[in-house]
Amino acid sequence: MTKKKTKRTRTKKTGITEVQKAVNGPAQPDDPSFRVYRWDLSLRESLKERRQELKISQRQIIRDSVAQFLPPLVQQLSDFGICVEDRATIGPCRVPMDTATLKALRLASNWTDLPQNLLLQATLRLATRESGQQQKQKATKK
Protein backbone atom coordinates (compact mmCIF):
# COMPACT_ATOMS: atom_id res chain seq x y z
CA MET A 1 0.00 0.00 0.00
CA THR A 2 1.16 3.49 -0.73
CA LYS A 3 0.78 6.34 1.65
CA LYS A 4 -1.64 9.08 0.82
CA LYS A 5 0.05 12.37 0.17
CA THR A 6 -1.34 15.02 2.43
CA LYS A 7 -1.55 18.52 1.14
CA ARG A 8 0.30 21.11 3.16
CA THR A 9 -1.71 24.10 4.12
CA ARG A 10 -0.14 27.47 3.89
CA THR A 11 -0.78 29.63 6.86
CA LYS A 12 0.02 33.18 7.72
CA LYS A 13 3.55 33.86 8.84
CA THR A 14 4.38 33.40 12.46
CA GLY A 15 4.79 36.59 14.36
CA ILE A 16 7.81 37.71 16.31
CA THR A 17 6.21 36.51 19.55
CA GLU A 18 6.00 32.95 18.21
CA VAL A 19 9.69 33.10 17.30
CA GLN A 20 10.52 34.30 20.83
CA LYS A 21 8.45 31.50 22.37
CA ALA A 22 10.16 28.89 20.20
CA VAL A 23 13.71 30.00 20.99
CA ASN A 24 12.97 30.19 24.71
CA GLY A 25 11.40 26.72 24.82
CA PRO A 26 12.69 24.04 27.17
CA ALA A 27 15.96 22.32 26.30
CA GLN A 28 15.72 18.61 25.63
CA PRO A 29 19.11 17.06 26.43
CA ASP A 30 18.28 13.62 25.02
CA ASP A 31 17.09 14.96 21.66
CA PRO A 32 20.05 15.94 19.50
CA SER A 33 19.16 16.87 15.93
CA PHE A 34 21.97 17.31 13.49
CA ARG A 35 21.86 19.53 10.41
CA VAL A 36 24.48 20.25 7.80
CA TYR A 37 25.13 23.89 6.94
CA ARG A 38 27.75 25.53 4.77
CA TRP A 39 29.75 27.94 6.97
CA ASP A 40 32.93 29.77 6.18
CA LEU A 41 36.10 28.98 8.10
CA SER A 42 36.20 32.30 9.96
CA LEU A 43 32.79 31.58 11.54
CA ARG A 44 33.88 28.07 12.49
CA GLU A 45 37.04 29.38 14.14
CA SER A 46 35.17 32.14 15.96
CA LEU A 47 32.67 29.62 17.31
CA LYS A 48 35.43 27.31 18.46
CA GLU A 49 37.26 30.12 20.27
CA ARG A 50 34.06 31.40 21.90
CA ARG A 51 33.08 27.89 23.05
CA GLN A 52 36.48 27.34 24.60
CA GLU A 53 36.37 30.76 26.25
CA LEU A 54 32.94 30.13 27.80
CA LYS A 55 33.59 26.40 28.37
CA ILE A 56 30.26 25.38 26.84
CA SER A 57 29.19 22.95 24.12
CA GLN A 58 28.56 23.84 20.50
CA ARG A 59 24.91 22.98 20.99
CA GLN A 60 24.63 25.44 23.89
CA ILE A 61 26.33 28.31 22.06
CA ILE A 62 24.00 27.78 19.10
CA ARG A 63 20.94 27.70 21.39
CA ASP A 64 22.04 30.85 23.25
CA SER A 65 22.87 32.70 20.02
CA VAL A 66 19.51 31.86 18.48
CA ALA A 67 17.66 32.84 21.66
CA GLN A 68 19.47 36.16 21.93
CA PHE A 69 19.79 37.27 18.33
CA LEU A 70 17.07 35.59 16.24
CA PRO A 71 14.01 37.56 17.47
CA PRO A 72 15.59 41.00 16.88
CA LEU A 73 17.04 39.77 13.57
CA VAL A 74 13.63 38.59 12.37
CA GLN A 75 12.16 41.94 13.41
CA GLN A 76 14.86 43.87 11.52
CA LEU A 77 14.43 41.69 8.43
CA SER A 78 10.71 42.33 8.59
CA ASP A 79 11.40 46.06 8.83
CA PHE A 80 13.55 45.74 5.69
CA GLY A 81 10.74 43.99 3.83
CA ILE A 82 12.03 40.44 4.13
CA CYS A 83 8.81 38.78 5.21
CA VAL A 84 5.67 37.21 3.79
CA GLU A 85 2.32 38.52 4.92
CA ASP A 86 0.24 35.56 3.81
CA ARG A 87 1.76 32.29 2.58
CA ALA A 88 -1.44 31.38 0.74
CA THR A 89 -0.95 34.29 -1.67
CA ILE A 90 2.49 33.20 -2.90
CA GLY A 91 2.65 32.29 -6.56
CA PRO A 92 4.82 32.69 -9.63
CA CYS A 93 5.24 36.14 -11.13
CA ARG A 94 6.96 36.83 -14.45
CA VAL A 95 8.76 40.19 -14.43
CA PRO A 96 11.01 41.99 -16.95
CA MET A 97 14.53 42.91 -15.75
CA ASP A 98 17.63 44.47 -17.25
CA THR A 99 20.90 42.58 -17.42
CA ALA A 100 22.48 45.07 -15.01
CA THR A 101 19.69 44.47 -12.47
CA LEU A 102 20.15 40.71 -12.73
CA LYS A 103 23.91 41.08 -12.28
CA ALA A 104 23.41 43.32 -9.21
CA LEU A 105 21.02 40.78 -7.67
CA ARG A 106 23.44 37.92 -8.39
CA LEU A 107 26.35 39.81 -6.79
CA ALA A 108 24.25 40.75 -3.75
CA SER A 109 23.08 37.16 -3.43
CA ASN A 110 26.64 35.86 -3.58
CA TRP A 111 27.76 38.39 -0.98
CA THR A 112 24.88 37.87 1.47
CA ASP A 113 24.14 34.21 0.70
CA LEU A 114 20.45 35.16 0.47
CA PRO A 115 18.39 34.11 -2.56
CA GLN A 116 18.03 36.66 -5.35
CA ASN A 117 14.25 36.36 -5.17
CA LEU A 118 14.28 37.30 -1.49
CA LEU A 119 16.52 40.32 -2.10
CA LEU A 120 14.38 41.49 -5.00
CA GLN A 121 11.17 41.14 -2.98
CA ALA A 122 12.71 43.10 -0.10
CA THR A 123 13.74 45.97 -2.38
CA LEU A 124 10.30 46.06 -3.97
CA ARG A 125 8.55 46.03 -0.58
CA LEU A 126 10.76 48.88 0.61
CA ALA A 127 10.08 50.83 -2.59
CA THR A 128 6.32 50.35 -2.38
CA ARG A 129 6.27 51.06 1.35
CA GLU A 130 8.01 54.41 0.78
CA SER A 131 5.57 55.41 -1.96
CA GLY A 132 2.66 54.41 0.28
CA GLN A 133 4.05 56.49 3.14
CA GLN A 134 4.55 59.49 0.83
CA GLN A 135 0.95 59.23 -0.35
CA LYS A 136 -0.27 59.11 3.27
CA GLN A 137 1.84 62.18 4.14
CA LYS A 138 0.43 64.10 1.15
CA ALA A 139 -3.12 63.15 2.17
CA THR A 140 -2.60 64.38 5.73
CA LYS A 141 -1.09 67.71 4.57
CA LYS A 142 -4.17 68.56 2.47
SS (H, E, C) the chain: CCCCCCCCCCCECCCHHHHHHHHCCCCCCCCCCCCCCCCCHHHHHHHHHHHHHHCCCHHHHHHHHHHHHHHHHHHHHHHCCCCCCEHHHCCCCCCCCCHHHHHHHHHHHHHHCCCHHHHHHHHHHHHHHHHHHHHHHHHHHC
Contact 81, 129 (CB under 8 A): yes
The pLDDT assigned to 8 comes to 47
Portion of the chain with pLDDT greater than 70, in percent: 72
How do the domains of the chain map onto residue ranges? Answer: 15-24+34-79, 97-142
What's the mean pLDDT in 3-16? 52
Portion of the chain with pLDDT greater than 90, in percent: 42
Q: Which residues of 16-34 are buried (b: 16+ CB within 10 A; e: fewer)?
A: eeebbeebeeeeeeeeeee
Whether the pLDDT of residue 64 is over 80: the answer is yes
pTM, to two decimals: 0.65
The pLDDT assigned to 78 comes to 87
Q: Which residues of 58-71 are buried (b: 16+ CB within 10 A; e: fewer)?
A: eeeeebeeeeeeeb
65-74, 76-85, 102-111: which has the minimum mean pLDDT? 76-85
pLDDT in tens, 81-123: 888 777 788 889 899 999 999 999 999 999 999 999 999 999 9
The pLDDT assigned to 133 comes to 61
